[in-house]
Each structure stands twice: as structure tokens, then as C-alpha cells.
């Protein structure tokens, strides 16, 4: 019984992804999805404005006025979620990205209901051109239905993948916190190394010499021999372990 529960839990569990498209970072993937959603929404809004206000319908996006108004209104409704999601990815704020995840999931189910309606209630064959109906209507209807089904399945898989990427980014922010974490530490270490090594990057760079000290009491100051840069500005180098108290 315990083994069955473990198998059921393994089948129903989803692990967060660590990469986008087998090589890109999650942050890049989340930004790519958000920007793509922004331009798609912008296109639907522009198509509705062009068709209803400017009376210049876009080919393939005419349709009835009710669908155009609904698409434009829903895209306008999603703009704040898209902006909040981009802010959440840049500044690693989980609540902003969670809101967008809810919006994206709702959009997925909305598209699913529309495809079900388009396939089973409003048959795709009824929207074929009259030229195809007059010449092999049965064959053209079968091809149209097959194309719509394959396209819908591909679209659903892509949308599910995008939802999983956004959810993985939310989990990454939740586990890693709102700070940049190790990436910030690595960048800081690179800056520290560049600052320490500035004296050795010139064309005629050499180690700095010691300050001039008198060889004997009362004698003139003479330059020292050798010398070098101190470790982080220190004056004492302790090689014992554990370090002795100063």
C-alpha cells in the first residue's frame, strides 16, 4: 500500500525545471514568455482597433464584433499581470509572478473551452470556403478537422510548458529568496579581483616597492629592496592555524 502511495505521489508530482529549452536560464525563459504574451496581446488589441474603429480588418482576424471585443478586453485585462510579472522576474518578487501564473493558467483553460466549442459545437467544417465544399467536401472536412486537432494539441502542449516554466521560476524565487544569491556573490568577487589586480594590468606594470626606510639610525632614507602589495591592505600576515590573537 505504501508502495502504491509512493508511486501515485511520484506520478502526480511535478519537479521545477532548472533550464528553458535545454540550455537557457529560467530567468530568460520567463522573460521570453512574458514578452511574447505582451506582443500577442498587443496584436489582438491592435486588430480589434483596426477592424472596429478604423474599418480596416486584418486578414484572418475579422470575425464577428463580439469575439473581437472580448479578445481585446481580455488582453487589456491581462496587461497589468504581464507588467507585474516582468517586474517580478527582474526584481525577484514571487507574489507578482504568482499573479501572472494565475492569469496564464486561466487563459489556458479559456483556450481549452474555446477549442472544445469550436470542434464539437461549432463544427470546423462549417467554416470551410465554398470552393472546398463543392470539390471533395468530405476529404476537405477530414483534413480540416485533423489540422485543427493537431494544431490544438501542439498549442496546448506549448501553453502547458510555458505555465510550467513560470511555475518553476516562482519556485526558484521562493527557495532562493528575493535576493540575487550566489550570482551576486560571484559578481562581487569578480569586482574585488579586478580592483586588487589593477596595478598589474598596465603595459609596464610591476610590483610596488616598500617605503623608504633608513638603514641605520640617523642615516638617510633609502629605498627598500623587493616588496609587494599587502593582502587586502593588511600589515601582518599570520600563517598559523588556528590564527593567533593579535
For residue range 86-107, what is the model confidence (pLDDT) as tens digits? 999 998 888 999 999 999 999 9
Q: What is the pLDDT of residue 186?
A: 65
- Judging by beta carbons within 10 Å of its beta carbon (0-12, 13-18, 19+), is residue 68 exposed, middle or buried? buried
Q: What is the DSSP string of 149-205?
A: HHHHHHHHHHHHHHHHHHHHHHHHHHHH-SS-THHHHHHHHHHHHHHHGGGGSSTT-
CA Rg value for the chain: 32
**What pLDDT does residue 114 have?**
83
DSSP 57: P
Give the Cα separation of 103 and 122 in Å (integer).
26
pLDDT score, position 178: 57
The residues, ordered by sequence, that sit 6+ positions from 94 with a Cβ below 8 Å of its Cβ are 88, 170, 173, 174, 178
Distances 36 to 100, 160, 177, 197 between C-alpha atoms, Å: 13, 15, 26, 43
Q: How far is CA 191 from CA 65, 90, 161, 185, 195, in A?
A: 58, 22, 37, 10, 6
Query: What is the separation of C-alpha 3 from the centre of its chain, rounded to a whole number of angstroms?
Result: 37
Helix H or strand E encompassing 3: helix 2-12
Model confidence band, residue 2 (pLDDT cutoffs 50, 70, 90): very low
| 163 pLDDT higher than 70 | yes
CA distance 143 to 137: 10
CA distances to 33, 64, 110, 185 from 115, rounded to whole Å, are: 22, 17, 9, 48
Is residue 54's pLDDT more than 90? no
* Residue, of 108 and 243, whose pLDDT is higher: 108
Query: Taking all residues of the chain, what is their mean pLDDT, rounded to a whole number?
Result: 75
Q: Where is pLDDT greater, at 85 or 210? A: 85
Pairwise pLDDT comparison (189 vs 106), residue with the higher score:
106
Determine the average pLDDT of the residues in 70-98. Answer: 92
Q: How sure is the predictor about 123, in pLDDT bands with cuts at 50, 70 and 90?
A: low
Q: Are the C-beta atoms of 103 and 88 separated by less than 8 Å?
A: no
| Angstrom distance (rounded) from CA 84 to CA 27 | 15
The span from the CA of 171 to the CA of 101, in Å, is 12
What's the pTM value of the predicted model, to 2 decimals?
0.64
% of the chain beyond a pLDDT of 70:
59
Mean pLDDT of 133-154: 77
What was the pLDDT predicted at 61? 61
Task: List pLDDT tens digits, range 196-238.
Answer: 544 444 444 444 555 555 555 555 555 555 555 566 666 666 6
Amino acid at each position: 500500500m505504501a508502495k502504491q502511495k509512493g508511486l501515485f505521489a511520484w506520478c502526480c508530482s511535478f519537479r521545477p525545471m532548472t533550464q528553458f529549452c535545454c540550455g537557457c536560464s529560467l530567468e530568460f525563459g520567463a522573460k521570453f514568455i512574458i514578452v511574447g504574451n505582451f506582443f500577442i496581446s498587443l496584436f489582438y488589441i491592435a486588430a480589434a482597433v483596426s477592424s472596429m474603429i478604423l474599418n480596416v480588418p486584418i486578414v484572418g482576424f475579422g470575425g464577428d464584433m463580439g469575439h473581437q471585443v472580448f479578445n481585446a478586453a481580455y488582453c487589456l485585462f491581462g496587461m497589468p499581470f504581464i507588467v507585474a510579472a516582468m517586474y517580478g522576474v527582474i526584481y525577484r518578487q514571487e507574489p507578482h509572478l504568482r499573479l501572472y501564473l494565475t492569469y496564464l493558467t486561466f487563459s489556458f483553460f479559456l483556450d481549452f473551452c474555446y477549442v472544445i466549442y469550436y470542434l464539437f459545437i461549432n463544427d470546423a467544417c462549417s467554416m470551410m470556403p465554398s470552393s472546398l465544399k463543392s470539390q471533395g467536401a468530405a476529404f476537405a472536412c477530414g483534413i480540416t478537422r485533423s489540422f485543427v486537432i493537431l494544431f490544438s494539441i501542439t498549442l496546448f502542449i506549448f501553453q502547458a510548458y510555458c505555465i510550467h516554466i513560470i511555475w518553476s521560476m516562482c519556485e526558484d524565487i521562493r527557495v532562493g529568496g528575493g535576493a540575487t544569491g550566489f550570482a551576486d556573490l560571484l559578481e562581487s568577487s569578480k569586482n574585488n579581483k579586478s580592483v586588487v589586480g589593477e596595478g598589474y594590468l598596465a603595459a609596464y606594470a610591476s610590483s610596488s616597492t616598500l617605503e623608504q626606510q633608513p638603514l641605520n639610525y640617523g642615516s638617510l632614507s633609502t629605498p627598500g629592496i623587493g616588496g609587494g602589495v599587502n593582502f587586502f591592505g593588511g600589515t601582518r600576515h599570520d600563517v598559523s592555524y588556528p590564527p593567533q590573537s593579535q
